[in-house]
Structure 1
């Protein structure tokens, strides 16, 4: 009979929370304001993708 092993996978809490998505302002005064918002939005998305990839690697081990 094959031996069945169980194990608990632990994902570090730091990988379970992404940077908050920046809030869109009601009105931007300049193109710079829009560009800074887009940069913050991209950073938050990249943070989440990197953490999700790390969780995926933990789960595959």
Structure 2
């Protein structure tokens, strides 16, 4: 059972539009913004936006703390 998330990476079409939505509408704290990505924070959750090519993939990491 999932009880906590440390960070989540989302592949997006537009970093700037996603950054604006998550900070202005959803209240995430902006941490960093660059051409192909961004870091945001909400509580203990770190959110990363990236632009990836169609042949790339996304993954998740699981903490060993239970």
Superposition TM-score tier, normalisation by shorter sequence: under 0.3
Normalized against structure 2, the TM-score is what?
0.22
Q: Which has the higher contact order (CA 8 A, sep 6+)?
A: 1
Normalized against structure 1, the TM-score is what?
0.23
Q: Which has the higher helix share?
A: 1
